[in-house]
Chains A and B, each alone.
Chain A
């Protein structure tokens, strides 16, 4: 069985985001595999280690730099990589179209991805891919079992867990709690050099959305400190809550 894992290259989650000319400044920012996708890669490798699948292919749509994300996944243990060259300004729709076209050609039994990207956080791409390909889709999974051409997953649901079974092929997207991704080992990094990676151009698709503006969250306001005796302080605080913070008080 062949598994295809979608990986996106994103900013390091600890990176400090700054805007330059109305766009996110990329200079000096460390790029990593989207942590949710990393979990999907780990899940795929574990399936291979259990002999449930025999090939793990990673695909990434993005700039040339995204090759590093593919290399990292190969160093973790994936077998092969495909870089889909695409403008980083592509929206979720265009990205899903590009990925789905390659997935269709590769024709894997299972498609894995992280359920959300740490940068834009839109949570759309795996669902769109499933829709384009007409595959069943399970989202935010925390466990996965494959047997008799079916895949059974636990996923997060409001206040509990939901167990879902779908037939293969399917698109499954992971929650971070599914597993603990391994660190690429030294041997893995060296073996990755010998693994095949191909590059293809993205199929043309126009964006459906237009980003009008980026803005950073407003800087956190300093708190207030009331240094008085408790009886005075309580009254002052109550006054501040009602008249300055204008908190809505429900009775």
Chain B
């Protein structure tokens, strides 16, 4: 077992860190306050090559592996959690299922442009009546000659109307078929019958875009079926297993950023005649932050390592996501606490970080759902 980084990983971390601080950093407050997604963030990250980190060279990637990918997300999230989410929704949720389940034509047509960042991807599973319970999906796809005809509504979709390529899940079978009743489709923006609905106004992660996708007799070419008929639910779940590693990394990055701000503040804020960092009550909070973040980071790296090695990673990813998201929430909360009243104002970034952290406990499986996954694995073995 080794706990060190390769020289490439060190260079990557430094490069992405400098990039995040200097290129993304200056606009973070504005994008949050005005609540808008700026396509510049995606373009800039794509130019640096972040969209292709884990994919093979022949599919337009850099072939650097999952650990490098999570390190990059972490560094982006430390400065701009919204940009980190734009990145991970694209790579983990849109490009990865094509990498794992697509045929060579689909990889050529969709994976390569997503890995290079020329095209922007999104993942559409959630519906008004199907959140944690994805099997409750009612969006339908019916075969009609050379096409599938999609009807239904997806909600909360990250990268929203900004994306070009959508991985859409729909019912293709009867109730009796259970989890085999669903299929996955690659849907291009501009396909007739595919439009956008309501845009969400959110607590945090306000630099990302989320909106409804509406399918009304939307004709999708049959060759855009991803995997096989009936494989949709499996594709969704395996995609989310990988996605959770990305969310874990995002949470670790947010927590790291908040801890750094808390340390900086505690060293300069003087009360009772000394910097509050000299008060044990504050110093111990910082100690707990450092420990929890490290624990979360190591769980995240292990999940990434397992995925990279082709080892089972579903439980590892659930644990990493659960631990990291709860750590992000606790650390940002304490970072606000250490900032006192100032932490509650928008003068200081910890207020935004706390709002940004909350989402990590919700999407790609809520904390309760992660506990369901983990407990099932230990009780029902």
Contacts and interface: CB of A to CB of B under 8 A. Distances in A.
Interface of A: 30, 32, 67-68, 71-72, 75, 183-190, 192-193
Contacts of B23: 183
B52 A186 contact: yes
B15 A71 contact: no
B48 A189 contact: no
B50 interface: yes
A189 B14 contact: no
Interface stretch (B5-13, B172-180, B214-222, B337-345): B5-13
B49 interface: yes
Contact of B53 (A32, A183, A186): A186
A214 to B, nearest CB: 25
Contact of A186 (B7, B10, B14, B62): B62
Nearest to B54: A186
B18 interface: yes
Interface in B29-54: 47-50, 52-53
Contacts of B8: 71, 189-190, 192-193
B19 interface: yes
Nearest to A188: B49
Chain B: number of interface residues, binned into ranges: 20 to 34
B15 A183 contact: yes
Contacts of B11: 68, 71-72, 75, 184, 189, 192
Secondary structure class of chain A's binding surface, majority of residues: helix
A176 B14 CA distance: 19
A247 to B, nearest CB: 28
Given A68-B7, A185-B48, A190 B63 contact: yes
B15 A187 contact: no
A190 B11 CA distance: 10
Nearest to A74: B11
Contact of B19 (A32, A75, A183, A193): A183
Given A189-B64, A190-B64, A184 B7 contact: no
A1 B50 CA distance: 33
A150 to B, nearest CB: 34
A75 B13 CA distance: 13
Contacts of B68: 186
A194 to B, nearest CB: 12
29 contacts: A30-B14, A32-B14, A68-B7, A68-B10, A71-B8, A71-B11, A72-B11, A75-B11, A75-B15, A183-B16, A183-B23, A183-B48, A184-B11, A184-B15, A185-B15, A185-B48, A185-B49, A186-B12, A186-B48, A186-B50, A186-B53, A186-B64, A186-B72, A189-B11, A189-B12, A189-B15, A190-B62, A192-B11, A193-B8
Of the candidates B11, B57, B68, the one having the most CB atoms from chain A within 10 angstroms of its own CB is: B11
B330 to A, nearest CB: 26
Contacts of B7: 67-68, 71
| 8 closest residue pairs by CB, A with B | A186-B49, A186-B62, A185-B49, A184-B15, A183-B15, A183-B19, A190-B62, A187-B49
